[in-house]
Chains A and B, each alone.
Chain A
Amino acid sequence: MEYTELKSYSFYSFLRGAGSPRSLIEEAIKLGLSGLALVDRGGVYGLPKAFHAVQELAGATNFKLLSGSEIPLLGAGKLSLSLIAPTRTAYGAMCRLLTLSHEGVPKGEGGLSMDRLVSCLQTIPGADQIFLFPEWQEEWFFSRSAQGAVLDSLQSLFDLRNPKWIPLTRFRDGFDREREEFALQARDRFGVPCVATQGVLFPSSESQILQDTLSSIREGAPLSEMGLKLSRNAGRVLKSPREMQDLFAEHPEMISETMRIRDAATFSLSELRYRYPSEWIPKPHTAQSYLEELCKKGVKERYRGNPGDSVLRQLQHELRLISELRFADYFLTVHDIVEFARSRKILCQGRGSAANSVVCYVLGITAIDPVRMNLLFERFLSAERGEPPDIDVDFEHERREEVIQYLYQKYGRDRAAMVSAVVTYRPRSALRDVAKAFSLPVGTLSARKVEKELLLSDGVSEARSSKILEVVEALEGFPRHLSIHSGGFTLSSEPVDTIVPIEPATMEGRTIIQWDKYDLDILGLLKIDVLALGMLSAIRKNLDAVGLQLHEVPVEDPATYAMMCRADTIGVFQIESRAQMSMLPRLRPRTFYDLVVEVALVRPGPIVGNMVHPYLKRRRGLERVELPDPRLVPILGRTYGVPIFQEQVMKMAVTLAGFTPGEADQLRRAIGAWRSKGSMDEIGEKLRVGLKKEGIPDSFAAVIFEQIKGFSEYGFPESHAASFALLTYVSAYLKCHHPAAFLCALLNSQPMGFYSPHTLVDDAKRHGVKVLPVSIADSDWDCTLNFKKEVRLGLRYIKGLKEEAARKMLLERKNRSFSGFHDFVTRTDFDLRSLRALAMSGAFEVMGLSSRDALFRVLSLHEGLFRTVQAQGELFPGVSLPGLNAAELVVQDYDSLGLSVRGHPMTYLRENLLQNPKFRARARTTTFEVKRMRNGAYVVLPGLSVVLQRPPTAKGTAFATLEDEQGVLDLILHRDVFVRNKDVIREEAFFWVKGVLQRDGDATQVVVKAIEPIFSDFDIPIAPGAHARRY
């Protein structure tokens, strides 16, 4: 006896279903069902994952997945209609229907009224093929009159031409007889067959408690008050054909009906294909021919006439592959977006595996010449893999919105939609919700507190807290709601909602599709990533200030590389982190390729795969580079025989083991799985056999094998490293030659990067940049650069100042500058709080009013009448407050601006310490002197902690950066030292550091032995967390 379950809900019916699509499929196959229909409420969220599970698990059995969904009917009490799409057109119509049910409705309350549903089913093309299963809730069974009303309301639904069935479920809860009577009554009245279903909510009966907890979270009431809203028994669970046969002993035809429906539904998700929009391609051309023409034009531009035959050969090879896989319109769409950005002067750059393709370089999508860097095209696109290409393009983070609106406006909201990302339960968020469901007084406690105090308090019995933790563990990975993927966009020639329903996102003005990026990969659909990068906007502002173009930046400038070797790279893209700054003096980059290696080397992968030290030793010539096989020289030569990039591994497989480029890419993907599974699958065997066949000595083959096994997933793609290295080089060049413009651009694109503004300002001042304080006469909203290359702080840094009031003031200043305090007060419409913020930031010093006097004046203005009565004169002239000394000025700056242009707080703290005889001896040492000391010297010095970092791979040791007026110094705190001084580091900003200096060439670090806080009345109002970046 065979059976197909026609109504099962996965956990993508948010907060209703308690099983993942995969677990449902697994259980169904284990029980021997011959098919399963996934009908999630309000959408098709779980279909791709179920489809993937069926592909993996079904194997030999003829198990079939039916695609469906459930639409709640509004206004008709507890009625809902579940649909199953038998054909591709029916599936398109269902998606259209689902999109309509979500339109203009707040998230989570999608639904259609009865007559709107009926009209849609009649009008949408192909909608009449959809299988309909009207579903009603239990209460109808208890009053005869209500049953009549239900049948009447369904009358209009049963008049439709769609194939219809009446679902009958048996829950063995004592009301099965009434349900059956009602179903048979409906069957006789409408002449529509009945079919057996189980309304599955969870794969196995153990997850009943999970489902109860989810309904409690959904209803917002603790479990003890849910009463009958909870499921009465574990009836809604997957049942084997034998059990279903016993349940429906008197109606075997209902079971066979399910098999008939299964055979009638032929649609499978694999039929989903869509083409990229190409109607804007000029008429005579097809997508491919237009692409080739653009490439020809591009080659002339990029290579200035003499591309060389290797470039042409590679270009032809790529174009042939693109036309074979028919991805031409995808490349054209990306090209069109990049062209739009160029026309609007928005800096953008492709990254990731796209940098391997000459076509992308030629079309201007990426900025790296793959042939010159001899990158591997198969890493981006290969015939065997068959997956669509995935091009990520970074845009300036402040102007990305323009690009997105352009896409919506050009392709229309129905053809362009953003990819969704499923927000799932993390242990933290799960714990709070589950504790609330178990009626613990959670209130506003943070999850950590709930765990520490509530669970262990005596009010909660041991058994209950262990049950709570058990549920929390099971709940992890359950979806809570849909949110927007950071930049994923999907475009299609016909409306997207014939492939996947579209629903509004929480962020207003954005629409998302119901699938996330993994679903798109499973189904082989195309996606473009429109991402935001802070550094791009900084570089663009910098280039505009300097009057340069990106490609006009001189290449291989020795001064820039010298600066990098000194590790003087605060603010430079990618190489400003503490780990990078300690690596730079050892690696001493001299060419662009060294920079590419530097960007790729300081990553968890290479550190774990212990490739860093051999590379450095060989680069300094301390270790001999021996390559057993001459063919390895072109591959590993440039990295001294140490494989760092994934492309190198693939090339080794191609040349040594006779792999085709496509197989090499499959090898790269499989290696990642090896480590997790720990076992070698058939691609790994092929590699071992290939190596042996090529005559590689076993010892070296084993070494290669280990190195490949060790790092593939961690290894950084060379193309990605190259495109980042380009930005690194440009930002380093600008910092070296135009430090003032560099600082100004960085300050205007905050928050970004590794350091806080005050560190950037101090570092720039050490490079001779003059930074002028905020002033109402000269400052604009952003920081500005005056003709003498001095940076004027912008009004944006004043805490508590409103932007539109400031902009109005700037306009007012244009037509006539302000003569005095009262002239300023009367002509601008700042409120009292903004005026106070302006006064405290010292913006009035240009008028001869110290921040103290200005504030004193502002305080005398009374709300409302200060513009008229008070304006003419000070009520009590002659009151003069003592001026602020230098230290208090700095404190004041930090209080109102978060940074100070007058000087580093350490200068004043040091003066204060020098007066105290106890500290006089050790207060004098500065970071500059420490860097001069010999290796192993014992060091004591005061300083301000700027950065604290505890990377998980460092097994407990923490890295910090100490800053004073002369520079920065790296600190290493081993696990015991860190644990001993954890609260000092967290609470205090300034402290004494005692430790041993460690020198390796130019790179110096202090291994900290002890830390003591500095107690002085000189307290800078920097909250320790505020100025230091915690990672």
Chain B
Amino acid sequence: MFDWLQSISDYLVFNAFGLSRDSHLAEAIHFFIYDSIKILLLLFVVVFIMGIINSYFPIERVRNYLTSRRLYGLEYLMASLFGTVTPFCSCSSVPLFIGFVSGGIPLGVTFSFLITSPLVNEVAVGLFIGLFGFKTTLIYVVSGVLLGTLAGIILQAFGLEKYLTPWVKEILAKAQKEQTTFIQEQQDFKQRLPVIWHEAIKIIKGILPYLLIGIAVGGLMHGYVPEGFFEKYMGKDNWFAVPVSTLLAVPMYSNASGILPVVQVLVAKGIPLGTAIAFMMGVVGLSLPEAMLLKKVMTWKLIAIFFGTVTVCIIISGYLFNLIL
């Protein structure tokens, strides 16, 4: 699929720049050119496709779907699945939360959505395909959806309504399964396309600097760090590698697109994939800015329980991956 890109990078590095094939520098530059272009292309395709889906299936429609149907326990899975196709902006998390609970959607189901929405977002998926290939991406997406589903069910079982902030409790008491009519923006595909295109470019532009720095660092490590270097310290038999990397990852966020390319190199140099996936789920799925925003609707205790439960689920899935992959 990317043979042509391989040839272009080969030509640039070995012919145009005249670098020797065995030098570390050549390897690093080759990695940088090849990876940046490949990742950007894939990222754009994924972001664009998700943009199309979202244009026809906005969050207000998801909410109506979840409030108007009896799903007999499947609502956690559905919320989690919907979370994958809605782009997540942490600044929308409060209106989203209120919108869900005021429509009578249970707290646990809301959590399922809130977990998967950032965890499996268009940028993460695009980067994943570019860096790790389709198979690993599929594993990441499926486990992200299951993780959101399970964590939602667990959080529902805790009965956490009492830890919401008072004004949210009031809303909850008045919550009704009212069917608000959602009026779809009446536009045909031709009218939507420029908007979707424009948004996709904006997203890519926003993360481009982080991404390029990440790939550059990855490229340097790729060229200079010996194969199997990390295996000694973070191999599968090192049981605390998974929790430590997850805990390190939770506070990171805005730099996710810069971190993923580095993680890819770490995996190539011997860090087990499960440990790496746990780390990335921590980076992408949970973040401090999100916690600060959720403070408006939740007490610290609830935020701690929410983040704690998700963190534990991530750690467990990290172990599981290391066991089966």
The yes or no verdict on A and B being binding partners is no
Q: What is the interface of chain A, defined by CB distance below 8 A to chain B?
A: none
Q: What is the interface of chain B, defined by CB distance below 8 A to chain A?
A: none
